[in-house]
């Protein structure tokens, strides 16, 4: 892995100088310096300008831009520029255009209109990478390479004939022969047996439900095809250059079809893009989940926030602006959760094009604005936090996450459309967030041994090895919770027979003989007074202790929540969808049993996260509420400066980061700087607005 750490936390944005007259460029650099920006991603959508005709390259404008940035002390994350092909590619090679499942061609005019399996696209894109890398490998401004952009954002599934051929090759590689494919796809059903590879196709629009394993394999193939582009560009960059290589992932509950756990090893820097959902009244909780998941993908180490927004986006139905201070809270929440760089889309708000209503660091109204003032304040904050670079986030809890389980759980023709993968994931993670407990979101094959508690929400598809690993974790003294619709199928989406939840039946000491999903809007009561909806199941205990049963609904008296003592640990099972207060109470019980504690005791709505290095720890406190918060903390506060002696006061909407001396930092005695006598640890109010 190539080292990507600078002297400071990286701070910046996508920068698209080609959208502006050259007179603007000097002002851009001047404003970047004023804001404390030190890294910009350049050239992401520049292919059509860099290569106006096949094989004819024009780099002069990019030379001048990079030189100017370098003279201004701004480093560059240089794009390979392959994100969106120029119009000439489709004009000369219409076979490079992607097709939907119903055959609809996706034409140029937007972006990313290429078939991911196209050999023509691959060849032309690599020729561009070679030209760009060859020219700028030694440019002093370039500190990082940015492959493509959000690979698979718009073109992840292509059903054209070129893709069909590639899918067959992928299947041959996976299965070897047709007998194995027929067995895996269960083609004895509905007269689907294949006798010739040429008969096999992607799951194109069909009269009724397509074969589920065919669908699952097509999703795997599609993720692998995008990954293949990443690897091809990465290999070339590795050969021609010395700087670290990255690409921006889209880890979050909105992007389903790219298996980033399998991609992480292909990059030197795990980088992520995250945008708030404007309709979500508590978007900071979903932000935390995306960050915790990105850290899980990064193996627990630091990562880079490649894109988020200073304020509104343009692509949701109602694009809500960020309130004063929200930009800062969002950015620092990512840093708290392991980001060693904070970048945005984009530097200057566009005048033209589909994203002209998207916020930027420099808005249409210019730098005399709330947004630019907050951007400058954040630059100062990040400079003050330089010492946290490279530290890791404390997490006693793991949440298991598997893209294949997500894909499988949400295939069609299932017991209930109300069972969605993100539902229990967000419910359990939200309960931890409210409890001030940080979780790593990790793949089921991750090393679980250092966690006190492991949660497995909706792990519908699970491999034997991963189910065994969870059992060993519990036997060795761990506490685990598995929720309904987990352990149901193997990697071929074949039911694990003998009763649900198949793979976890023995571990949990339960056996379910039949699912009883509820009607839309229906709910049930449990005998502990809580309510639940969506799902119930006819469950028998086989060794587990019953903690709650249904009081009404289709299964009165049947267990809903159980606990099974296994080895030195315990495995809990939840067979229904508890409401939020009950989910919070369940998580509190699990935390107490497992001995997992919050980063600090904080009022409701105040986010607390701890980062730790070998000899120091830092407590991040993000006050999302409208009231002042007081916490018992001792140490040096880094953002406003000052010493807090036993009490930290964080005004409404503000953020504090304390280099701790003891207490919350755990058992280790940590060195501290000399107390700066008398300086109060009270922070600036939001003077940026």
Residue 77 sits in the site that holds ligand GAL (CB under 6 A): no
* Positions marked catalytic: 150, 307
Distance in angstroms (rounded) separating the CA atoms of residues 452 and 448? 9
Smallest gap from residue 334 Cβ to ligand GAL (A): 16
- Please check if 248 is assigned to a binding site: no
Smallest gap from residue 273 Cβ to ligand GAL (A): 6
| 510 closest CA partner among 564, 577, 570 | 564
Residue 273 sits in the site that holds ligand GAL (CB under 6 A): yes
| 554 closest CA partner among 574, 534, 572, 573 | 534
Per-residue contact track with ligand GAL, 553 to 592, x per CB under 6 A?
----------------------------------------
Q: Which residue lies nearer to ligand GAL by CB, 11 or 573?
A: 11
Distance in angstroms (rounded) separating the CA atoms of residues 619 and 654? 14
Q: Which residue lies nearer to ligand GAL by CB, 213 or 223?
A: 223
- The one segment of 145-153, 231-239, 367-375, 472-480 that binds ligand GAL by CB under 6 A: 145-153
Distance in angstroms (rounded) separating the CA atoms of residues 220 and 237? 26
Q: Which residue lies nearer to ligand GAL by CB, 356 or 684?
A: 356
Q: How many residues does the chain have?
A: 689
Give the strand order in the sheet containing 655-660.
392-393, 606-612, 617-623, 655-660, 634-637, 643-645
Residue 307 sits in the site that holds ligand GAL (CB under 6 A): yes
Out of 47, 159, 345, 572, the only residue in the binding site for ligand GAL (CB under 6 A) is 345
Residue 295 sits in the site that holds ligand GAL (CB under 6 A): no
Smallest gap from residue 228 Cβ to ligand GAL (A): 20
Q: What DSSP designation does 534 have? A: S
Smallest gap from residue 30 Cβ to ligand GAL (A): 25
With tokens 């003592």, the residue in question is 565
Distance in angstroms (rounded) separating the CA atoms of residues 446 and 439? 14
Smallest gap from residue 19 Cβ to ligand GAL (A): 12
Q: Which residue lies nearer to ligand GAL by CB, 47 or 345?
A: 345
Please tell me the chain's helix, strand, coil percentages from 3-state DSSP, rounded to the nearest 5. Answer: 35, 20, 45
- Please check if 376 is assigned to a binding site: no
The answer to whether residues 301 and 241 touch, using CB atoms and an 8 Å cutoff, is no
Task: State the DSSP H helix or E strand holding residue 190, giving kind and residue range, or none if neither.
Answer: none
Distance in angstroms (rounded) separating the CA atoms of residues 606 and 653? 9
- Please check if 149 is assigned to a binding site: yes
- Please check if 158 is assigned to a binding site: yes
* Exposure b/e, 419-442, CB count within 10 A at least 16 = b: bbbbbbbbbbbbbbbbbbbbbbbb
Smallest gap from residue 356 Cβ to ligand GAL (A): 12
Smallest gap from residue 268 Cβ to ligand GAL (A): 19
Alpha helices in 111-156 (DSSP H): 119-136
Out of 147, 271, 313, 606, the only residue in the binding site for ligand GAL (CB under 6 A) is 313
Point out which residues pair with 397 in neighbouring strands.
439, 453
Q: Which residue lies nearer to ligand GAL by CB, 260 or 550?
A: 260
Residue 260 sits in the site that holds ligand GAL (CB under 6 A): no
353: tokens are 């094009």
Per-residue contact track with ligand GAL, 599 to 628, x per CB under 6 A?
------------------------------
- Please check if 111 is assigned to a binding site: yes
Q: Which residue lies nearer to ligand GAL by CB, 227 or 443?
A: 227
Q: Which residue lies nearer to ligand GAL by CB, 94 or 254?
A: 254
Smallest gap from residue 112 Cβ to ligand GAL (A): 10
Out of 28, 77, 150, 493, the only residue in the binding site for ligand GAL (CB under 6 A) is 150
Question: In whole angstroms, what separates CA 459 from the centre of its chain?
Answer: 18
- The one segment of 148-156, 170-178, 428-436, 642-650 that binds ligand GAL by CB under 6 A: 148-156
192: exposed, middle or buried (Cβ count in 10 Å: 0-12, 13-18, 19+): middle
The CA angle 78-83-85, to the nearest 5 degrees, is: 120
Task: Judge if the upstream peptide bond of residue 346 is cis by omega within 30 degrees of 0.
Answer: yes
> How many helices and strands in the chain, by DSSP H and E?
17, 28
Q: Which residue lies nearer to ligand GAL by CB, 26 or 279?
A: 279
Residue 348 sits in the site that holds ligand GAL (CB under 6 A): no
Residue 358 sits in the site that holds ligand GAL (CB under 6 A): yes
618: tokens are 């830092």
The CA angle 216-156-104, to the nearest 5 degrees, is: 100
111: exposed, middle or buried (Cβ count in 10 Å: 0-12, 13-18, 19+): middle
Smallest gap from residue 482 Cβ to ligand GAL (A): 34
* Residues between 170 and 229 that touch ligand GAL (CB under 6 A): none
Residue 275 sits in the site that holds ligand GAL (CB under 6 A): yes
Residues in contact with 378: Cβ distance below 8 Å, sequence separation at least 6, in sequence order: 11, 36, 327, 328, 331, 332, 342
- The one segment of 146-154, 373-381, 527-535, 590-598 that binds ligand GAL by CB under 6 A: 146-154
- Please check if 153 is assigned to a binding site: no
Residue 149 sits in the site that holds ligand GAL (CB under 6 A): yes
Residue 359 sits in the site that holds ligand GAL (CB under 6 A): no
| 459 closest CA partner among 540, 398, 509, 412 | 398
Alpha helices in 257-402 (DSSP H): 260-263, 283-297, 326-336, 370-384
64: tokens are 């001048």
Q: Which residue lies nearer to ligand GAL by CB, 153 or 602?
A: 153
Q: Which residue lies nearer to ligand GAL by CB, 165 or 355?
A: 355
Judged by CB under 6 A, how many residues of this single chain contact ligand GAL?
Answer: 10
Smallest gap from residue 346 Cβ to ligand GAL (A): 7
Binding site residue list for substrate: 111, 149, 315
Binding site residue list: 111, 115, 149, 158, 160, 315
Positions that interact with ligand GAL (CB under 6 A): 149-150, 153, 273, 275, 307, 313, 345, 355, 358
Binding site residue list for Zn(2+): 115, 158, 160
């Amino acid at each position: 892995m190539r080292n990507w750490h600078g002297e400071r936390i990286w701070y910046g944005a996508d920068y698209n100088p080609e959208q502006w007259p050259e007179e603007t460029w000097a002002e851009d650099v001047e404003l970047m310096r004023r804001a404390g920006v030190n890294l910009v991603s350049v050239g992401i959508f520049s292919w059509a300008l860099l290569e106006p005709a096949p094989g004819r390259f024009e780099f002069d404008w990019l030379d001048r831009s990079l030189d100017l940035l370098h003279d201004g002390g701004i480093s560059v994350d240089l794009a390979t520029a392959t994100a969106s092909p120029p119009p000439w590619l489709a004009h000369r090679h219409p076979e490079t255009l992607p097709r939907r499942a119903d055959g609809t061609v996706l034409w140029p005019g937007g972006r990313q209109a290429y078939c991911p399996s196209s050999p023509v696209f691959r060849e032309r894109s690599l020729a561009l990478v070679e030209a760009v890398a060859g020219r700028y490998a030694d440019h002093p401004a370039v500190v990082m390479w940015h492959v493509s952009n959000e690979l698979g954002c718009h073109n992840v599934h292509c059903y054209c004939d070129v893709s069909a051929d590639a899918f067959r090759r992928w299947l041959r590689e996976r299965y070897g022969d047709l007998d194995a494919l027929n067995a895996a796809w269960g083609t004895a059903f509905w007269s689907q047996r294949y006798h010739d590879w040429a008969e096999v196709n992607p799951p194109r629009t069909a009269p009724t439900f397509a074969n589920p394993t065919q669908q699952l394999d097509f999703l795997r193939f599609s993720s692998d095809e995008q990954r293949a582009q990443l690897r091809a560009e990465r290999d070339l960059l590795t050969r021609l250059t010395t700087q670290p290589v990255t690409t921006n992932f889209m880890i979050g509950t909105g992007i389903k079809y790219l298996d980033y756990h399998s991609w992480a090893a292909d990059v030197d820097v795990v980088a992520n893009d995250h945008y708030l959902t404007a309709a979500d009244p508590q978007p900071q909780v979903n932000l935390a989940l995306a960050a915790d998941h990105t850290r899980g993908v990064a193996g627990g180490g630091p990562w880079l926030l490649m894109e988020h927004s200073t304020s509104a986006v343009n692509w949701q139905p109602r694009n809500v602006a960020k309130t004063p201070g929200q930009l800062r809270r969002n950015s620092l929440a990512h840093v708290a959760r392991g980001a060693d760089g904070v970048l945005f889309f984009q530097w200057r708000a566009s005048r033209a094009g589909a994203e002209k209503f998207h916020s930027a660091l420099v808005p249409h109204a210019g730098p005399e604005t709330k947004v630019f003032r907050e951007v400058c304040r954040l630059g100062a904050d990040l400079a003050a936090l330089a010492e946290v670079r490279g530290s890791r986030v404390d997490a006693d809890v793991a949440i298991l996450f598997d893209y294949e389980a997500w894909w499988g759980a949400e295939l069609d023709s299932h017991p209930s459309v109300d069972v969605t993968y993100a539902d229990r994931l967000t419910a359990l993670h939200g309960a931890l967030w409210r409890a001030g407990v940080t979780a790593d979101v990790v793949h089921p094959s991750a090393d679980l041994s250092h966690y006190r508690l492991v949660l497995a929400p909706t792990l519908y598809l699970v491999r034997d090895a991963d189910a065994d690993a969870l059992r060993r974790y519990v036997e060795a003294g761990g506490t685990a919770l598995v929720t309904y619709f987990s352990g149901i199928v193997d990697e071929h989406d074949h039911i694990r027979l003998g009763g649900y939840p198949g793979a976890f039946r023995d571990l949990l000491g339960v056996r379910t003989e039949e699912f009883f999903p509820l009607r839309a809007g229906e709910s049930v009561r449990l005998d502990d007074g809580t309510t639940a909806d969506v799902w119930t199941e006819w469950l028998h205990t086989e060794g587990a202790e019953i903690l709650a049963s249904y009081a009404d609904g289709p299964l009165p008296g049947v267990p809903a929540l159980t606990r099974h003592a296994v080895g030195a640990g315990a495995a809990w099972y939840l067979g229904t969808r508890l409401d939020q207060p009950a989910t919070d109470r369940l998580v509190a019980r699990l935390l107490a049993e497992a001995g997992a504690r919050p980063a600090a005791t904080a009022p409701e709505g105040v986010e607390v996260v701890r980062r730790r290095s070998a000899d120091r720890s830092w407590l991040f406190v993000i006050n999302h509420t409208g009231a002042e918060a007081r916490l018992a903390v001792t140490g040096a506060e880094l953002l406003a400066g000052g010493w807090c002696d036993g009490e930290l006061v964080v005004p409404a909407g503000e953020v504090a980061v304390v280099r701790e001396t003891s207490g919350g930092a755990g058992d280790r005695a940590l060195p501290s700087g000399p107390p700066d006598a008398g300086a109060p640890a009270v922070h600036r109010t939001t003077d940026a607005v």
